[in-house]
Amino acid sequence: MRLSSACFALLLTVLCPAASGVAAERAPRAETKTHWRLETDKEGIKVYSRVSDDSRFKEIKVHCEMPGTLSQLVAMYSDVDQYPYVISNTKSARLLRRVSETELFYYLETQMPTPVANRDVAMRLQFSYDAASQQLLISTTHAAGLVPPQPGRVRVPYWSGLWTVRPLTPNRLQVDYTFRVDPGGELPTWLVNMVAPVAPYRSFVQLRRALQLPRYQGRSFAFLSGPAATTSQR
């Protein structure tokens, strides 16, 4: 039970901070992927999974709608110091470098149940916005070499995902999110694949709540344009 809880905690926490387009340190190769399989459909949150021949871990997709604006979402994910308060099982998070309004690097440590070692990862987070389609992309990938190995922690060796977000109304978002993660260490593949489709549901329930915190209301960002990106109706 401890091992199952640890795996769940890792996947739940690593999910929320962001998402990515290109996986670092992986040689390009042809992939064979199965069709998406619906794993969870609850409270408007649909979670899918599929397998591919280039990874032993399942790829996960989440489709949902939630109250909020693009600005609120950007504000929350730009607020790295607050990750321990808005993302489950985050022991610590710190900004490593803010390159611009649309790019930053951060470090995250995930709290794991004893006796499993905590996981940690350095990440690159990027935002891009297409004003014509009012579509926001949020991408992250693990950033090797930014933080040396830490005593007593297991480094997450691989992370890849992508958020595609667009406003349905001035205060409601549609989200499509895909990701793959290797949690590192000796967690068995079958256990990670069993838990992976479950964790995103709980993460997105918490995300919906976090977006409504007062600190993320009424924010604006230069790279976002158009009323749907910046208007918050409360």
Nearest-10 crossing angle of helices 2-15, 199-210:
40
CA dist 16 and 211 (Å) reads: 12
Of the CA atoms within 13 Å of residue 234, those in its CB half-sphere come to 10
CA dist 8 and 3 (Å) reads: 9
Instruction: Name the nearest CA neighbour of 87 among 144, 18, 20, 142.
Output: 18
Instruction: Name the nearest CA neighbour of 120 among 95, 96, 152, 78.
Output: 152
- Rounded to the nearest integer, the mean pLDDT of the chain is 80
Indicate the pLDDT class of residue 230, thresholds 50, 70 and 90: low
What pLDDT score was predicted for residue 58? Answer: 76
Per-residue pLDDT of 192-217, as tens digits, reads 656 655 667 888 888 899 999 999 99
Contacts of 226 (CB under 8 A, 6+ apart): 131, 134
Q: Mean per-residue pLDDT for 55-70?
A: 87
Per-residue pLDDT of 3-31, as tens digits, reads 444 344 444 444 444 433 333 334 344 45
Amino acid at 71: S
The pTM for the full model equals 0.79
Percent of the chain predicted with pLDDT > 90: 48
When mean pLDDT is compared across 23-32, 47-56, 62-71, 73-82, the lowest value belongs to: 23-32
Contacts of 163 (CB under 8 A, 6+ apart): 18, 19, 136, 137, 138, 139, 175, 176, 177
CA dist 134 and 223 (Å) reads: 12
Q: Is the peptide bond before 115 cis (omega within 30 degrees of 0)?
A: yes
CA dist 228 and 210 (Å) reads: 20
Q: Mean per-residue pLDDT for 39-64?
A: 84
CA dist 47 and 60 (Å) reads: 7
When mean pLDDT is compared across 54-63, 180-189, 190-199, 215-224, the lowest value belongs to: 190-199
